[in-house]
């Protein structure tokens, strides 16, 4: 049987897109292989958020040359953000060995292109028009990603996504719910809804919402609908935009399936930096969202993303980000050092004038604050019971995330994988808590 090998970089959205590519390739009669040296087709799904992510793709070139010498009929395709943002063809020029170079939204053409390049590989060709209509191929398990939209209309000045993925496009509610019902019927209990600004979701088919649905905001109403799907007991979403965190959405987060967690990117704690980033909110607005969340869900765990060393960020402005961090006491933060991306507004309008050394310093300062707060917050969990969805086991221990999305370890074997267990926390570290299983 002909085989394929997929390499995925980047966010959950990219992982979900790679699952769609798998569906297409399997539908054509190809089989997955972990070994790229024996594959007939290799697809790399790329990320452009930072230059280092793109460099990793260029790093494969030598390897690909050797593979092509061994098997000249090998087809190598590159998709994802790199082709998406390569409007002048400059990136493609640097990748001479690549047979297919296409933005993710064009993946529906993959069967046709493969048929042209290697007709003997393809035993079936089912045309699909909209890539979001392709059901992602999933490994078995209790958790699944479900995309509700792709693209973005926000144009944050540092971000390539609106160029790489295009404008925001929402999936019909009927398709989303059909996919979730199908997943639930196959044993999935946890759904992660995906979208670039997931809470700006607007259903193209609002007539699909149930008559009993109490919400007017489409994203809140979507959360309510997913709560009605039998079997789904854990629901969360990424990544929301602070300006769309309205009261209905916060209210829908109190419904039973919703996890006790939100990842709400802030990016900076200074209004002038936020303005230059075109984030469309102030620190006060962000803090107001946090206050409204905590008023309704007092012990909610909150994660965020922060960029340090954005163009023109002064020491004082960075200090305000540290102050914001101390004020909110985030449970987790992904800290990125600013990296200029060609094609973005920031790369044209501003100078990347914070030195690499200073960016590293700011990263270290914020990371130290994060580590202290994470440990303090984890210590508050000692003696409490948490509900954990076990997703793997190893050497007599199970691992999984609590409803606060904290990694928990407890005794148990393979038979526990996919189950929800209650764990009394007895010991905590920075990135993992340990405990004993207890009856509910
Ligand atoms: S909201 Fe901003 S950071 Fe997020 S995907 Fe859209 S443009 Fe990029």
pLDDT truncated to tens, each residue of the chain (440 aa)?
899 999 999 999 999 999 999 999 999 999 999 999 999 999 999 999 888 889 999 999 889 999 999 999 999 999 999 999 998 999 999 998 899 999 999 999 999 999 999 999 887 777 778 899 999 998 879 999 999 999 999 999 999 999 999 999 999 999 999 999 999 999 999 999 999 999 999 999 999 999 999 999 999 999 999 999 999 999 999 999 999 999 999 999 999 999 999 999 999 999 999 999 999 999 999 999 999 999 999 999 999 999 999 999 999 999 999 999 999 999 999 999 999 998 999 999 999 999 999 999 999 999 999 999 999 999 999 999 999 999 999 999 999 999 999 999 999 999 999 999 999 999 999 999 999 999 87
Question: Dihedral (C-alpha) 279, 280, 283, 285: value to the nearest 10 degrees?
Answer: -140
Q: Which atom of ligand 1 is nearest to the CA of 279?
A: 2
Give pLDDT, residue 129.
Answer: 82
Best mutation site among 159, 243, 264, 267 for ligand 1 pocket (most ligand atoms within 8 Å of CB): 159
* Burial classification of residue 52, based on how many CB atoms lie within 10 Å of its CB (0-12 exposed, 13-18 middle, 19 or more buried): exposed
Name the residue of 11, 160, 195, 197 whose CB sits within 8 Å of the most ligand 1 atoms, as the mutation to test its pocket: 197
Q: What count of residues does the chain have?
A: 440
CB 127 within 8 A of CB 108: yes
Q: What was the pLDDT predicted at 51?
A: 86
Token match 């130290």: residue? Answer: 368
| Contact status, residue 286 vs residue 305, Cβ threshold 8 Å | no
- Which residue from 419, 424, 417 is spatially nearest to 440, judged by alpha carbons? 424
Q: Are strands 143-147 and 149-150 parallel, antiparallel or unpaired?
A: unpaired
Ligand 1 atom 1: residue of nearest CA:
154
DSSP-derived secondary structure for 400-414: EEETT--EEEEE--G
Q: Do domains 3-131 and 138-379 have the same CATH topology?
A: no
Interval between CA 15 and ligand 1 midpoint (Å): 18
Ligand 1 centroid from CA 293, angstroms = 22
Which residue owns the Cα nearest ligand 1 atom 8?
Answer: 159
Q: Quick one: pLDDT at residue 139? A: 80
Structure tokens at 409: 């370890």
Index of the ligand 1 atom closest to the CA of residue 278 = 2
Which residue has 């190893």 as its token pair?
394
Return the DSSP state at 380: T
The pLDDT value given to residue 417: 96
| Record: fold of 138-379 | pyruvate-formate lyase- activating enzyme (3.80.30)
Tokens 């395709």 found at: 77
Distances (CA, A) of 409 to 153, 261, 413, 440: 40, 19, 11, 17
CA–CA dist 354, 308 (Å, integer): 9
Architecture of domain 3-131: 3-Layer(aba) Sandwich (3.40)
Distance from Cα 265 to the centre of ligand 1, integer Å? 10
| Atom of ligand 1 lying closest to residue 153 CA | 6
Ligand 1: distance of its center to the CA of 306 in Å?
13
Say how far residue 133 (Cα) sits from the centre of its chain.
19
How large is the C-alpha radius of gyration of the chain? 23
The Å distance, Cα 396 to ligand 1 centre, comes to 42
DSSP 99: S
HSE-CB at 157 with a 13 A cutoff on CA atoms is: 19
Residue spans per domain, the chain: 3-131, 138-379, 385-438
Report residue 98 as tokens.
């690549």
| Residue 239 preceded by cis peptide, ω within 30 | yes
**DSSP SS3 for 262:** strand
pTM of structure: 0.95
Q: Supply the CATH classification number for the domain 385-438.
A: 2.40.50.140
| C-alpha 122 – ligand 1 centre gap (Å) | 37
**Could you tell me the distance, in angstroms and rounded to a whole number, from the CA of residue 417 to the centre of ligand 1?**
35
Q: Which of 150, 156, 241 to mutate to test the pocket of ligand 1 (most atoms within 8 A of CB)?
A: 156
- Sequence-ordered list of residues with C-beta below 8 angstroms from that of 355, at least 6 positions apart, any chain: none
Q: Output the ligand 1 site: residues, CB below 6 A.
A: 152, 154-156, 159, 161-162, 196-197, 241
Q: What token pair was written down for 403?
A: 């409803």
- Alpha-carbon distance of 220 to 306, in angstroms, equals 26
Query: What is the per-residue pLDDT for 60?
Result: 93
Counting from 1 in the atom list of ligand 1, the atom nearest the Cα of 159 is 8
Q: Which of 12, 81, 152 to mutate to test the pocket of ligand 1 (most atoms within 8 A of CB)?
A: 152
Residue 352 pLDDT: 97
**What kind and span of H or E run contains 426?**
strand 420-428
- Give distance in angstroms: CA of 214 to centre of ligand 1: 29
Round to whole Å and give the CA distance between 39 and 47. Answer: 22
* Cα gap 378→406, rounded to integer Å: 9
Write out the H or E segment, with its range, that includes residue 364: helix 356-379
CA of 156 to the centre of ligand 1 (A): 5
| 65 DSSP assignment | H
**Nearest residue by C-alpha to atom 2 in ligand 1:** 156
């Amino acid at each position: 049987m002909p085989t394929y090998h997929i390499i995925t970089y980047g966010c959950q959205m990219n992982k979900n897109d790679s699952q769609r590519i798998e569906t297409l390739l399997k539908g054509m009669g190809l089989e997955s292989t972990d070994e790229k040296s024996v594959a007939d087709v290799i697809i790399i799904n790329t990320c452009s958020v930072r230059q280092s992510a793109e460099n990793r793709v260029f790093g494969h070139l030598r390897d690909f040359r050797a593979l092509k010498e061994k098997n000249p009929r090998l087809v190598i395709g590159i998709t994802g953000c790199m082709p998406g943002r390569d409007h002048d063809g400059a990136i493609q020029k640097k990748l001479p060995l690549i047979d297919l170079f296409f933005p993710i939204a064009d993946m529906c053409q993959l069967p046709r292109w493969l048929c042209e390049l290697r007709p003997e590989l393809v035993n079936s060709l089912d045309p699909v028009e909209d890539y979001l209509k392709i059901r992602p191929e999933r490994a078995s398990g209790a958790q699944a990603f479900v995309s509700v939209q792709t693209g973005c209309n926000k144009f944050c000045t540092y971000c390539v996504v609106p160029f790489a993925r295009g404008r925001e496009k929402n999936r019909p509610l009927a398709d989303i719910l059909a996919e979730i019902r199908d997943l639930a019927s196959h044993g999935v209990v946890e759904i992660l809804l995906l979208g670039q600004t997931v809470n700006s979701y607007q259903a193209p088919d609002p007539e699909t919402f149930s008559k009993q649905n109490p919400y007017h905001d489409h994203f809140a109403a979507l959360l309510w609908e997913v709560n009605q799907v039998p079997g789904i007991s854990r629901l969360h979403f990424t990544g929301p935009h602070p300006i769309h965190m309205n009261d209905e959405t916060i209210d829908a987060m109190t419904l039973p399936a919703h996890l006790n967690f939100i990842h709400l990117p802030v990016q900076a704690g200074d209004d002038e930096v936020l303005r230059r980033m075109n984030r469309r909110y102030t620190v006060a607005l962000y803090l107001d969202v946090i206050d409204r969340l905590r008023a309704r869900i007092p012990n909610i765990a909150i994660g965020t993303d922060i960029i340090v060393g954005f163009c023109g960020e002064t020491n004082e402005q960075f200090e305000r980000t540290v102050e914001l961090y101390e004020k909110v006491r985030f449970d987790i933060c992904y800290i990125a050092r600013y990296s200029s991306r060609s094609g973005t507004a920031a790369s044209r309008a501003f100078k990347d004038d914070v030195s690499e050394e200073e960016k590293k310093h700011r990263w270290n300062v914020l990371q130290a604050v994060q580590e202290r707060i994470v440990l303090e917050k984890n210590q508050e969990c000692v003696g409490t019971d948490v509900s954990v969805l076990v997703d793997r086991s190893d050497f007599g221990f199970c691992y999984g995330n609590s409803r606060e999305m904290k990694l928990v370890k407890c005794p148990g074997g393979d038979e526990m994988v996919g189950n929800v267990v209650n764990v009394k926390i007895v010991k905590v570290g920075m990135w993992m808590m340990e405990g004993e299983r207890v009856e509910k």
